[in-house]
């Protein structure tokens, strides 16, 4: 019944309803619908063998590198805490970041500097996996917090190919996932992205354009890992959720999402507490995704498109 209510609300989707949905605690429902249980035969043998039997495990996602309003020294404060606690994470990287992502009329770009690339090389050496987090992260129109909704398919393909080419040019590992800026992408966009990447991340705003979906599920040839409230937010509130999840009888592989820029507000104290709690329980994304059938399907889709051209 709750799922039907959520679906009906998102079909109406006025701004107020979307804001309300972004705070509804949907992560538990998505996990129960999905295939993330560690107590069944349906999921997770990772490349190193079976996952630990000691409670739920966590996939940590971190958005927004580089940042238009923070310098790299602030990010490295965050990363140092995560590294000290041996927390692997998926880092969303925007290769041609706008100077002001919230200004749809803007034209200036912050871009990616040599210093940014050096930071990425360093953190990848510490076990961080990379995701493509859009292209400029700029809103397309006023009152539409989306970089991707409505982008013509040929234009989106060109953007993807250029962005992925830049990672190669910079000597960085290939991104393993796509994180839509503002968690917003339409179905046509997902179908194009699936030709290039095998994993799609989502968030509260994804419900508006893609509907409420399980965590994870195979969606348009991609492995879809949405992260909803309360597993999505500031570290302090995510910690409260993680503590409760640790007491569940049924164990899950749970994606949690942070924005490192937000965490400077308390000088990363929330991050430190969260990292200390999940230390030893966080899995590296690439280890949990590489054997996925969705990855093979996406690779086939990309090859098919190349053959057609």
Residue 304 has pLDDT above 90, yes or no: no
- Residues 211-229: pLDDT tens digits? 889 999 999 999 999 999 9
Residue 65 phi, psi (nearest 5):
-120, 135
Assign residue 146 a region (left: φ > 0; alpha: ψ between -120 and 50; beta: otherwise): beta
What pLDDT score was predicted for residue 7? 52
What confidence tier does 8 reach under pLDDT thresholds 50, 70, 90? low
Where is 262: in which H helix or E strand?
none
Please classify residue 242 by burial: count the beta carbons closer than 10 Å to its beta carbon, then call 0-12 exposed, 13-18 middle and 19+ buried.
Answer: buried
Best mean pLDDT range from 6-10, 48-52, 206-210 = 206-210
Report whether 254 contacts 27 (CB < 8 A). Answer: yes
**Is pLDDT of 260 > 70?**
yes
> Starting at the edge strand that comes first in sequence, how are the strands of the sheet with 129-132 ordered?
217-219, 222-226, 199-202, 177-178, 129-132, 90-93, 57-65, 253-259
Please give the Cα distance from 191 to 175 (Å, whole number). Answer: 17
Collapsing DSSP states into helix, strand and coil, what is residue 155?
helix
Considering the chain, what is the average pLDDT of its residues? 85
Question: Which CA distances in Å does 6 have to 31, 141, 174, 187, 202?
Answer: 15, 26, 35, 18, 16
- The residue whose two tokens read 């929330």 is 270
Of all residues in the chain, what percent are helix, strand and coil, respectively (each to 5)?
40, 15, 40
* Coil vs helix vs strand at 113: coil
Measured N-to-C along each axis, helices 269-278 and 235-245 cross at an angle, to the nearest 10 degrees, of 20
The predicted pLDDT at position 175 comes to: 97
Instruction: Give residue-wise pLDDT tens across range 31-46.
Output: 988 866 776 544 443 4
Q: How far is CA 296 from CA 92, 209, 213, in A?
A: 22, 25, 21
The CA–CA distances, whole Å, from 185 to 25, 46, 77, 190, 242 equal 21, 29, 31, 7, 27
Which has the closest alpha carbon to 285: 90, 125, 96, 133?
A: 90
Domain spans of the chain, in order of start: 2-303
Helices (H) and strands (E) in the chain, counts: 12, 10
CA 21 and chain centroid, separation: 18
Percentage of the chain surpassing pLDDT 70? 80
| Assigned superfamily of 2-303 | Glycoside hydrolase/deacetylase (3.20.20.370)
Which residues are registered as beta bridge partners of 200? Answer: 178, 224
The backbone torsions φ and ψ at residue 222, rounded to the nearest 5 degrees and listed phi first, read -115, 155
State how beta strands 253-259 and 57-65 pair: parallel
Q: Whole-structure pTM over 0.75, yes or no? A: yes
């Amino acid at each position: 019944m709750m799922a039907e209510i959520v679906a009906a609300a998102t079909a109406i989707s006025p701004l107020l309803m979307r804001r309300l949905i972004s705070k509804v605690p949907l992560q538990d429902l998505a996990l129960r619908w999905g295939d993330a249980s560690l107590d069944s035969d349906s999921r997770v043998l990772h490349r190193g063998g079976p996952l630990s039997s000691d409670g739920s495990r966590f996939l940590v996602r971190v958005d927004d590198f580089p940042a238009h309003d923070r310098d790299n020294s602030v990010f490295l404060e965050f990363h140092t805490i995560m590294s000290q606690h041996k927390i692997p994470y998926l880092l969303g990287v925007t290769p041609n970041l706008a100077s002001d992502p919230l200004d749809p009329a803007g034209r200036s770009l912050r871009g990616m500097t040599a210093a940014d690339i050096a930071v990425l090389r360093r953190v990848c050496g510490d076990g961080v996996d990379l995701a493509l987090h859009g292209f400029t992260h700029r809103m397309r129109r006023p009152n539409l917090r989306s970089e991707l909704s409505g982008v013509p398919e040929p234009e989106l393909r060109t953007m993807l190919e250029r962005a992925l080419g830049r990672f190669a040019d910079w000597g960085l590992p290939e991104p393993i996932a796509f994180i839509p800026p503002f968690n917003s992408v339409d179905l046509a966009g997902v179908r194009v992205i699936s030709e290039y990447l095998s994993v799609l991340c989502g968030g509260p705003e994804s419900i508006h354009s893609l509907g409420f979906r399980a965590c994870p599920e195979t969606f348009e040839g991609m492995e879809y890992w949405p992260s909803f409230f309360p597993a999505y937010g500031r570290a302090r509130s995510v910690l409260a959720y993680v503590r409760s999840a640790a007491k569940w009888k049924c164990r899950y592989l749970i994606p949690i999402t942070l924005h490192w820029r937000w965490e400077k507000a308390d000088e990363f104290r929330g991050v430190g507490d969260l990292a200390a709690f999940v230390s030893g329980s966080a899995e590296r994304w690439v280890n949990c995704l590489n054997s996925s059938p969705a990855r093979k399907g996406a690779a086939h889709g990309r090859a098919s498109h190349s053959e057609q051209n």
